[in-house]
Amino acid sequence: MASAKKLPCSSKKLLEICNRFPTPFHLYDEKGIIENMQRLARAFSWSEGFREYFAVKATPNPFLMKLLGAIGAGADCSSYTELLLAERCGISGEAIMFTSNDTPAAEFIKARRLGAVINLDDISHIAYLEHCAGLPDLVSQRYNPGPLRSGNAIIGHPEEAKYGFTREQIIEGFKLLREKGVHRFGLHTMVASNELNPQYFVDTAVMLYELAVEVYRTTGIRIEFVNIGGGIGIPYRPEQTAVDSELVSRGIQEAYERIIVAAGLHPMKLFMECGRMITGPYGYLVTKVLHIKQTYKRYVGLDSCMANLMRPALYGAYHHITVAGKEDVAAATVCDVTGSLCENNDKFAIDRKLPEVSEGDVLVIHDAGAHGHAMGFNYNGKLRSAELLLRNGGEVVEIRRAETPDDLFATLDFEKLATFS
Ligand SMILES: *Cc1c(COP(=O)(O)O)cnc(C)c1O
């Protein structure tokens, strides 16, 4: 089933929003995000204690995190400042999953203070964590299946990935943790990114369930939860189909009964840490046409650039584009849609068919709600845009203002410069 590329409101309303807030900006659809999160939780309601830890890095805006937290999502954090954001949103204790790698001591200390579930990336981190912050009651380990699992396009082959413990280290690590007094254990993996095949996630759960049984048989250790990570893809292209959470859930439930219940290991909790699938389809980059240029090709130049949305330039990713108010005009003009960076790959689309556009037209770039604003940067002196939230009742709230030149220069000392020669 193809995915319809719709705006979160009428184009009339969108143009009104553009009159109130200067473009470019990211616009998030509260209703879409909340209903999406609730659908996921409902799909997994068979699994007692199921929790989705929203991957903060996808959309690190505390207003969105707080909305998600209020309907049961936790926060999956991987850095010090992501932990601080979770804390500011009132998310703490085991509602935080701390999945980091190459981790500085200060981050383990902060995670411990917040009572987060600490998910270790390496066997050597057991001693490191013990030394810098002390071992908590509950520790999770990240599994890297290596050659036992074929990879996916974005993350690549697991044996080439820097993350996680080998199979032998998982067993050894749990024994070591037990010797050191830990008595609650979790098992995690993350082997895919932007994956649209639902079976992939069922296979991931099967892999962890089988490993949990092996851990139990060889060590007597009972795993309290498995965390199958994030990586559920979204249909960036209109002809693609969203992953059916119900289908994934049924497949995992069947595996749970066949493997975990049969081995006498029920109850075992199931966690996820999706980012992209939660917010991705419900965020839009709203931007205006500045210039139309006709040389060897036709260029539609926008008031935004890859500093606002890097995915097309970084991965050659497709992002659908709607011209607001011209939804019914035939997409008959082929053009490159560009930003203003002094980099020729600063293009949102190449050879894209769009309705004939003019200067001042509002373009909406779809599926920018995850890894969009978050991947923003300041190269070429570009300033990050505002983030707006379209609330359930239709009201629009600014949930992050746009950067100003003062923000960009905040780390420079111009007084020192005045006397510097
Ligand atoms: C990036 C990441 C996620 C979220 O990935 P999505 O593709 O946004 O679902 C979850 N867990 C870890 C460890 C990650 O690095």
End-to-end Cα distance, the chain = 65
Choosing from 119, 190, 243 the residue with most ligand 1 atoms within 8 A of its CB, the one to mutate for a pocket test is 190
Q: Within a domain: residue 328?
A: yes
Question: Is the same domain home to 299 and 253?
Answer: no
User: Stretch 325-334: mean pLDDT, rounded?
Assistant: 95
Q: How confident is the model at residue 147 (pLDDT cuts 50, 70, 90)?
A: confident
Ligand 1 center to 30 CA (angstroms): 21
Omega of the bond prior to 24 within 30 degrees of 0, cis?
yes
The model carries a pTM of: 0.96
- pLDDT surpassing 90 at residue 398: yes
- pLDDT surpassing 90 at residue 11: yes
Question: Is the same domain home to 126 and 259?
Answer: yes
218-257 tens-digit pLDDT: 999 999 999 999 999 999 999 999 999 999 999 999 999 9
Mean model confidence pLDDT for the chain: 96
DSSP string, 262-285: TTT----EEEE--SHHHHGGGEEE
Residue 159 is predicted with a pLDDT of 84
73-116 tens-digit pLDDT: 999 999 999 999 999 999 999 999 999 999 999 999 999 999 99
Choosing from 51, 56, 98, 99 the residue with most ligand 1 atoms within 8 A of its CB, the one to mutate for a pocket test is 99
Residue 3 is predicted with a pLDDT of 76
The whole-angstrom separation of Cα 387 and Cα 82 is 18
Ligand 1 center to 166 CA (angstroms): 20
Phi, psi for 136 (deg, rounded to 5)? -75, 175
Q: How confident is the model at residue 152 (pLDDT cuts 50, 70, 90)?
A: low
Q: Within a domain: residue 6?
A: no
- pLDDT surpassing 70 at residue 153: no
Which one of 279, 311, 339 terminates a domain?
Answer: 279
Give the ligand 1 atom nearest the CA of 276. 8
Question: Is the same domain home to 44 and 156?
Answer: yes
Question: Is the same domain home to 272 and 293?
Answer: no
The whole-angstrom separation of Cα 153 and Cα 351 is 24
Domain count, the chain: 2
204-228 tens-digit pLDDT: 999 999 999 999 999 999 999 999 9
179-210 tens-digit pLDDT: 999 999 999 999 889 999 999 999 999 999 99
Question: Is the same domain home to 394 and 344?
Answer: yes
- pLDDT surpassing 90 at residue 149: no
Which one of 279, 306, 333 terminates a domain?
Answer: 279
Q: Within a domain: residue 22?
A: no
Residues 6+ apart with CB under 8 A from 210: 259
Question: Is the same domain home to 114 and 177?
Answer: yes
279-302 tens-digit pLDDT: 999 999 999 999 999 999 999 999
Here the tokens at position 27 are 């616009």
Q: How confident is the model at residue 151 (pLDDT cuts 50, 70, 90)?
A: low
Which one of 246, 279, 312 terminates a domain?
Answer: 279
Give the ligand 1 atom nearest the CA of 188. 13
Choosing from 103, 194, 243, 273 the residue with most ligand 1 atoms within 8 A of its CB, the one to mutate for a pocket test is 273
For ligand 1, say whether the CB of 190 is within 6 Å of any of its atoms: yes
Range of the domain at 164: 30-279
Other CB atoms within 10 A of residue 290 CB: 17
Q: Within a domain: residue 72?
A: yes
CA angle 56–61–66, rounded 5-degree value: 85
Ligand 1 center to 416 CA (angstroms): 42
Q: Within a domain: residue 414?
A: no
Give the ligand 1 atom nearest the CA of 99. 13
Ligand 1 center to 357 CA (angstroms): 37
Question: Is the same domain home to 168 and 217?
Answer: yes
The whole-angstrom separation of Cα 340 and Cα 348 is 11
Q: How confident is the model at residue 161 (pLDDT cuts 50, 70, 90)?
A: confident
Question: Is the same domain home to 267 and 385?
Answer: no
Q: Within a domain: residue 161?
A: yes
Residue 71 is predicted with a pLDDT of 97
Q: How confident is the model at residue 267 (pLDDT cuts 50, 70, 90)?
A: very high
Ligand 1 center to 420 CA (angstroms): 45
For ligand 1, say whether the CB of 75 is within 6 Å of any of its atoms: no
Q: Residue 311: give its domain's CATH number.
A: 2.40.37.10
Question: Is the same domain home to 249 and 337?
Answer: no
For ligand 1, say whether the CB of 243 is within 6 Å of any of its atoms: no
Q: Within a domain: residue 3?
A: no
Omega of the bond prior to 267 within 30 degrees of 0, cis?
yes
27-78 tens-digit pLDDT: 999 999 999 999 999 999 999 999 999 999 999 999 999 999 999 999 999 9
Cβ pair 302, 290 in contact under 8 A:
yes
For ligand 1, say whether the CB of 101 is within 6 Å of any of its atoms: no
Here the tokens at position 328 are 């019914």
Q: How confident is the model at residue 160 (pLDDT cuts 50, 70, 90)?
A: confident
| Amino acid (1-letter code) at residue 64 | L
Cβ pair 365, 287 in contact under 8 A:
yes
Question: Is the same domain home to 295 and 252?
Answer: no
For ligand 1, say whether the CB of 273 is within 6 Å of any of its atoms: yes
Question: Is the same domain home to 66 and 136?
Answer: yes
Is pLDDT larger for residue 50 or for residue 157? 50
The proportion of the chain whose per-residue pLDDT surpasses 90, expressed as a percent, equals 95
Q: Enumerate the active-site residues.
A: 342
Ligand 1 center to 276 CA (angstroms): 8
Residue 233 is predicted with a pLDDT of 97
Choosing from 52, 77, 78 the residue with most ligand 1 atoms within 8 A of its CB, the one to mutate for a pocket test is 78
Residues 6+ apart with CB under 8 A from 123: 165, 169, 172, 173, 176
Which residue puts its alpha carbon closest to atom 3 of ligand 1? Answer: 230
Q: Within a domain: residue 11?
A: no
Question: Is the same domain home to 263 and 295?
Answer: no
Q: Residue 157: give its domain's CATH number.
A: 3.20.20.10
